[in-house]
Amino acid sequence: MPNLGFPEILMIMVIALVVFGPRKLPELGQSLGRALREFRQHTQQVTGEFQRDLNEPAPVAAPVATASVAAAPVSSTPSSAQSE
């Protein structure tokens, strides 16, 4: 997205002055400023929450006790149950 230079900003301000008139323009500027301020505050809150979550160490899980199970030996000869 291209950056807005001084001529473009001046043209936007002139068009806004013509469309909204000199009486309504200060109100629009005030409400736009309020909206930008609220947006900035909310983005800072969300960014702060993400930073806190990232900086917070992960909880260490307790080691799980494992029981060793002995395996039954496998025979290489076919059993009588399989041949029937």
- What pTM was computed for the model? 0.48
Which H or E run includes 53? helix 6-55
pLDDT digits over 7-35, tens only? 998 999 899 889 988 888 889 889 999 99
On average, the pLDDT of the chain sits at: 82
Separation CA 14–CA 23 (nearest Å): 14
In 3D space, the residue among 13, 30, 23 whose CA is nearest the CA of residue 38 turns out to be 30
